[in-house]
Structure 1
Amino acid sequence: MSKIGIMGGTFDPVHTGHLLAAEKAREQCGLQEVWFIPSYMPPLKANEPGVSSEHRYGMVEAAVATNDAFRVLDIELKRGGISYSYDTVSELIKRYPGRSFAYIIGSDRINDLCKWHRIEELAELVTFIGLERPAEPAQPGQLPSFLKQRLTIVEMPPIGISSTDIRNRLTAGHSVQYMVPDTVLEYIRRYGLYESRADD
């Protein structure tokens, strides 16, 4: 049975930190592939994404095009509404039999796992790969046993890149060269996203 990593998020925009995290998880946990799944509306974030779902999908598609182990799915974007992981995983299992799935999540999401929609049922369907950043240590010891036994911690190097910072830099006309893949930067420029006035 092939093991697939799932990386969800708004990807507004996708950046090199996302790709590095996916590759680190793939390598250390023996994943055959990592599937990026842009969310339509994340349940635990107050703010809606800044650009359209079509553009967020397009940026991820551009970012993963050169890596045969990465792909992007529009399953949550087509479904619309709040993007609950349980619904997504249930649909993936029906669509892709013979595969097992592991959710790749950051330190902040590890500590929030108990708040996830139908988390006990979700934990029966998937395992979790927690990416621990040095400045944001995970606290798996505080999780209930049904989650601890389904969680693998992977150490991440400090990156210091965030989608929020990238959006702010683009709006202010500052360079984001090397913070996003060249293909993503080209996409942002082509469509004038984030009110970019940068000539990086």
Structure 2
Amino acid sequence: MAEIGIMGGTFDPIHNGHLMLGRQAYEEYHLDEVWFMPSGNPPHKKDHLVTDAALRCKMVRLAIEGFPKFRLSEFEVQRAGNTYTAETLRLLHLHYPEHRFYFIVGADSLYEIENWFHPEQVMSQTILLAAGREYADAPRNMEEQIAYLKEKYKADIRMLHCREMDISSNELREMESHGHRISRYVPRSVENYIQIHKLYQD
């Protein structure tokens, strides 16, 4: 049995915060690998045009070069239709019954997870590794939110003891569209790829 971390997201673009979370999960929970899994057709991203999957996958591949235990998984982008985490986890267990999966999330996802498609199925099929970050307007602190989800869904939720990067892919797209450098937030190879292909330009 291999212990596999799943880092999901649109990765539009992938940034250093994603890499930091993946590295912390790998080291803190002694995982065998971390799979970076770009989403195919995320149903919650209808407010903007999502960059073509092939381009997002290429950026992920560039970003994880040099991390031998990180790999790109095209498991979701190869599926048709909307891609939901609950369905992805079900299919992962069918394809890889020998593995145990850890789903890596930011603190925001932990507060929003009950709005996901069949959250009870998500939490019954994986161990959640959640980055610790407090939100001033959240109804509960992180420890209380974890306790609440454990009680309601019998979830296995464990903390990742690292800070989250205070930047989002949406903010990076905005910065790039206005001609601002994003080299502080993404690997150089990813920044070069964005500029060569003129991604995120109005």
TM-score between the two structures when normalised by the length of structure 2: 0.87
1:47 shift after superposition: 2.3
Counterpart for residue 96 of structure 2? 96
Separation (CA, whole Å) in 1 of partners of 2:91 and 2:9? 17
Q: 1:90 to 1:158 in 2, by over 3 A?
A: closer
TM-score between the two structures when normalised by the length of structure 1: 0.88
* One of 190, 195, 199 as aligned partner of 2:201: 195
Does the CA-based 8 Å contact 2:26-2:33 persist in structure 1? yes
Q: Does 1:156 align with 2:156?
A: no
Give 1:49 deviation, angstroms: 4.5
The one-letter code of the counterpart of 1:183 is S
Give the whole-Å Cα distance in 1 for the aligned partners of 2:153 and 2:18: 24
Q: Structure 2: which amino acid aligns with 1:76?
A: E
> Which structure 2 segments of 5+ residues have no match?
none
Cα distance between partner residues in 2 of 1:69 and 1:157: 21
Alpha-carbon displacement from aligned partner over 1:117-154 (angstroms, at most 9, x marks no partner): 23323333211111112457532233252545411012
Deviation >3 Å, runs of 4+: 43-46, 134-137, 146-149
> What per-residue deviation string (whole Å, max 9, x for no partner) do you get for residues 84-143 of structure 1?
112211222222231100111111111122232233233332111111124575322332
Question: For the structure 1 residues 161 and 122, does the alpha-carbon distance in structure 2 shift closer, same or farther, using more than 3 Å as the test?
Answer: closer
Q: Aligned pair count?
A: 196
Q: Distance in 2 between the 1:140 and 1:148 partners?
A: 10
Root mean square deviation of aligned Cα: 2.0
What is the identity, as a one-letter code, of the residue corresponding to 2:57?
Y
1:17-32 matched pairs, under 5 angstroms: 17-32=17-32
Give the direction of change, closer, same or farther, for the CA distance of 1:42–1:12 in structure 2 (3 Å limit): same
Alignment partner of 1:194: what SS? coil
Return the alpha-carbon distance in structure 1 between the equivalents of residues 54 and 171 of structure 2: 21
Judge conservation of contact 2:106–2:164 (CA < 8 Å) in 1.
Answer: no
Q: Which residue of 1 aligns with 2:39?
A: 39
* Structure 1 stretches lacking a partner, 5+ long: none
